[in-house]
């Protein structure tokens, strides 16, 4: 692996840790009925969005390994899908941390499944506000985000605001 490849891979791992931090914040403490909240007849529910993020993260790992696999998973209970989110992040991060080759470039993995996942975390945060359970804003540039910390246990926010 070249230095350039290693640097790109480490930045991708930091992005995955950022996804864990932001996703955890958007998902923690969601109202009991949040998973099925719908703003319009043609919109996805938060539960459908979260299941889709799980599918994206599974796809990211398959792409990294050189396979084109996609599975559309129906939403489960909110807590089960939150667990799936963090488990998929951990599997992907473990692969990125290994010496195994990437079949797709770090840039391709970022621009596809990872960027899409970040977009959907934003949708969940917006839906939380609409559903009456807003997530506090934060200066994310000061957050303690560490490569490899991709589980539900994240650092406490450093600079939240209203």
* Closest to 162 measured CA to CA, from 143, 139, 146, 131: 139
- Would you call 23 helix, strand, or coil by DSSP? helix
User: Contact, 96 vs 16, CB < 8 A?
Assistant: yes
Domains present along the chain, CATH in parentheses: 3-135 (1.20.120.450)
Q: What share of the chain is helix, strand, coil (3-state, %, to 5)?
A: 60, 0, 40
> pLDDT tier at 66 (50, 70, 90 boundaries)?
very high
Residue 2 is predicted with a pLDDT of 67
For residue 80, is pLDDT > 80?
Answer: yes
Between 153 and 3, residue with greater pLDDT: 153
Calpha distance 112→81 (Å, rounded) = 21
> Which tens digit of pLDDT belongs to each residue from 109-121?
999 999 999 999 9
Q: Is the pLDDT of residue 129 over 90?
A: yes
**Would the pLDDT of 145 be above 80?**
yes
How many degrees, rounded to 5, is the angle at CA 89 between CA 81 and CA 80? Answer: 15
β-strands 137-138, 160-161 pairing: antiparallel
The pLDDT of residue 40 is 96
């Amino acid at each position: 692996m070249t230095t350039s490849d290693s640097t790109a891979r480490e930045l991708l791992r930091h992005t995955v840790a950022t996804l864990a931090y932001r996703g955890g914040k958007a998902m923690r403490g969601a109202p009991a009925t949040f998973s099925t909240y719908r703003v319009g007849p043609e919109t996805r529910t938060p539960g459908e969005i979260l299941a889709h993020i799980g599918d994206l993260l599974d796809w990211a790992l398959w792409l990294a390994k050189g396979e084109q696999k996609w599975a559309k998973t129906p939403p489960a209970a909110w807590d089960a899908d939150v667990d799936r989110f963090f488990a998929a992040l951990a599997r992907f991060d473990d692969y990125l941390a290994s010496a195994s080759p990437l079949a797709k470039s770090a840039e391709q993995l970022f621009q596809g499944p990872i960027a899409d996942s970040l977009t959907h975390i934003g949708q969940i945060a917006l839906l939380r506000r609409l559903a009456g359970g807003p997530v506090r804003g934060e200066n994310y540039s000061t957050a303690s985000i560490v490569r490899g910390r991709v589980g539900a246990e994240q650092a406490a926010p450093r600079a939240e605001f209203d």
